[in-house]
Structure 1
Amino acid sequence: MLNYPAAYQVTKGSALDVDRDFYRRIASRHDTRKLVESIVVPIRSGQAWTVPAGHVFRIVTIEGPQVADLNMWNRHDPRERFWASRTRQLQQAHVSTFDRLWSTLPFLRPMVTITDDTLANYGVDEHGGRVHDLLGTRCDPYVNRMLTGEDFHFHCHSNLTRAILPYGLTEFDVHDVLNVFQCTGLNLDDQYFMKACPAKQGDYLEFFAEIDLLCALSTCPGGDLSVPMWGPDARDPLDVCRPLGIEVYRLAPEMLVGWKSPEVAEYRGLHGLKAEVPDWKKGG
């Protein structure tokens, strides 16, 4: 089968082109960063935190393999939030170093750039599985009820909902996710599959915040996904659930020379609509 070209091509100097030398320096110069926040997210729970633009944050497997679901919003306007499907088109269905996570319309700008990924060399396994996917979305109690007839309150959707309540957001603000450390793909029947998480203790995925962020992470109740949760062999995977760590770093000012937070999309049209001036505004 031929490798058909991507729909969205990266050309030098285009909006999809990334200054790799800049992000390589950020990833490698650990002596120029200072840890300003460290969080442990317990099993089957969620946590929200803020990241100022120009800072770096990591999601870390502090005890061993565990998958997680990540949401992000503009800290000052949560109407701007991570857009998984457009990111899947502009970047890849599974993201890694130098990929960006883009925001929704009408904003459309990179929210973060991935600067480091200890699983970058996982590649494609014998089943077509890859890590850090945008193919699937969060597990939720509604599908669980539909498929099992039972209620469970610690799915990723619920964990994220609880996590963002202190920031004035609700269930309606939870959106499609980046599945961090999760190994997934499409089988020969074009159906989504999930495999056991390949991460080891100490693995991490690192992001550079392009704008001021509110982030939320759920430690998936499926743990490392090594235990089937659906079908005849399904059982509670509690024993393969592990906490995750969040680390936020402030960078030295010299590391940000030449960088600026991206502006929102330039389009200022009215989608082909024409606004007429009301008669009372035309005057006599």
Structure 2
Amino acid sequence: MATVLDEVSTASLTVSREAGTRGGRRRRRMSGWHFVLFPVAILFLVPFLQMLLASFSPAKDLVAFPPPFIPSRLTLDGYVRLFGQTDILLWLGNTVIVSATAIVSNIVLCSVAGYGFARLKFAGRNFGFLMILATIMIPTQLLMIPTYILFAKLGLLNGLGAAIVPWLATAFGIFLMRQFFLSLPAELEEAGAIDGCNRWQIFFRIVLPLARPAIATLAIFTLLGAWNDLVWPLIAINNQSAFTLQLGIANFQGMHQTDWSLIMAGNVVATMPLILFFLFAQRQFIATMTFSGLKG
């Protein structure tokens, strides 16, 4: 067992270093794709830049038509009112709890389920996986009423549980992890079994270390979904102490008037953690994406 683990660790470290070296070499080279991707990147950057500038704009600029791209003056009024007159920190904390729980539970549950469907042989395995996969094709709107009734009977409404439970595991996460585990060579697990590993030791000490690219990808998708979820919390949560960030920001838009400065400042606060997490997870993904097994 120690031999297999040493080989896995050594190979993973070697490939990570090679990926970092190759990444550094690629960054020094220019290609024709840069001339295509740079304008596209600017197009995606403009809306975020406009939102950022609008969050520092005075109220008169935000209600002008057309609104100026460059504010007439920079002001922190939107952020002062955001942190002084709203429960933005409470909403942010609730969203962090929901998202962190969703990420951890998806990594654990989807990895175990995906490995079971990929490697274990049991009656109804293919049928069960197809049934799980079929749930992806069901429109979310059709599930709102039965899910609300179920949560009402379980007493999970108007609390963080209503926002957490739907994200404990996802069909997409199970599908993603299963497909990745199928791409790993079975010889690694056979070598671990020969060295005396049981099924759980093979999974936690051999398979999971190789699944870091898939885990990073699953964490990104789970965070994006749980962090930006609005429709279901809007239906299931009426208690303001359990509001998530998106639900709290949605309340800034009233029937007769909209506080644009609060919305822009709130959107910046809601967007920055996603950008930082994505950059961190992307680096981890690039460092290990080329490693899917042992060479030779």
TM-score normalized with structure 2 length: 0.22
Please identify which structure carries the higher helix content.
Answer: 2
* Bigger CA radius of gyration: 2
Please identify which structure carries the higher strand content.
Answer: 1
